[in-house]
Amino acid sequence: MANQNNATEQQNFPLFYKNPMPLDAQKHTNIALKKNFGLGFTKEVNAVPINLIEMPQVCHFYPIAFSPDGNATPVALLGLRDKENLFINEKGEWATNTYIPAYIRRYPFIFSELPDDERLTLCLDMDDEVIEENGEQKLFDAEGKPSELSQNALEFCKSYHAAAQQTIEFSKAIADSGLLVDRQAEIQVAGGKKIKFSGFQIIDEKKFNELDDAIFIEWRKKGWLPFIYAHLFSGAQWQKLTALLNERM
């Protein structure tokens, strides 16, 4: 029995967000973030985007692949079947001692570019699962100034945005390099069943070793080589995904 799964088919960006709205001190005076709303919002996602600077950490826990849409967005693979994250339990808790990608940790905040305005605006997903009226974790204080929570969210989103811009440059170079190849994994699971997992790309190691010297030196100067090696090393994590799936089955 084979299941066809796609690593990126469910990613309509921004992933997870249902109703992101710019934070407004007047409109959102009483809005608060729910305490410990958990990570249950990730349970039906089998891949999330990651930034370049995360790849050396991510490679110790998840296989890293690239989206097949021409953008070569790096993604951490979280599961082998459609709509299944193998790292989250029924209580919405992430696997212990496991790195959580920044895309997930940023939620429910996100930067947005408003029409006719080049500035980035801090937005919040106005979803009843994560916000409440008059809760303890207010977004603005009594004077209408951003709370410590909002200030921390702003700084995190600034850092995330800067890392995402670096990633776009890296991804474009990888996409244009001709190094990416389509891959399909066939995984043997409990009961002798086989699962086919496709819809992702990886760097072909042979092609990478034959990369033009001038491009290799340029990438070395840009500091990209450790991230490419992190991607290649992450292939060892396929065994972990298979083990997690067998446990769940």
Tell me the domain boundaries of the chain: 4-248
Is the pLDDT score of 190 beyond 80? Answer: no
Mean pLDDT over the full length of the chain: 90
pLDDT category at 1 given cuts 50, 70, 90 is very low
End-to-end Cα distance, the chain: 14
pLDDT, mean of residues 112-120: 69
Tell me: pLDDT of 186 over 80.
Answer: yes
Rounded mean pLDDT, 148-168: 96
- What one-letter code names the amino acid at 92? G
The whole-angstrom separation of Cα 73 and Cα 175 is: 9
Pairwise CA distance, residues 197 & 110, whole Å: 30
Measured CA to CA, the distance from residue 121 to residue 112 in angstroms comes to 5
Angle at the Cα of 13 (from 195 to 92), degrees rounded to 5? Answer: 60
pLDDT class for 4, splitting at 50, 70, 90?
Answer: very low
Cis peptide before 108 (omega within 30 of 0): yes
Nearest-angstrom CA–CA distance, 161 and 168: 11
Would you say residue 11 has pLDDT above 70?
Answer: no
Spatial distance between the Cα atoms of 22 and 124, rounded to a whole number of angstroms: 6
Q: What whole-number distance in Å separates Cα of residue 66 and Cα of residue 52? A: 12
Predicted local confidence at residue 100, as pLDDT:
98
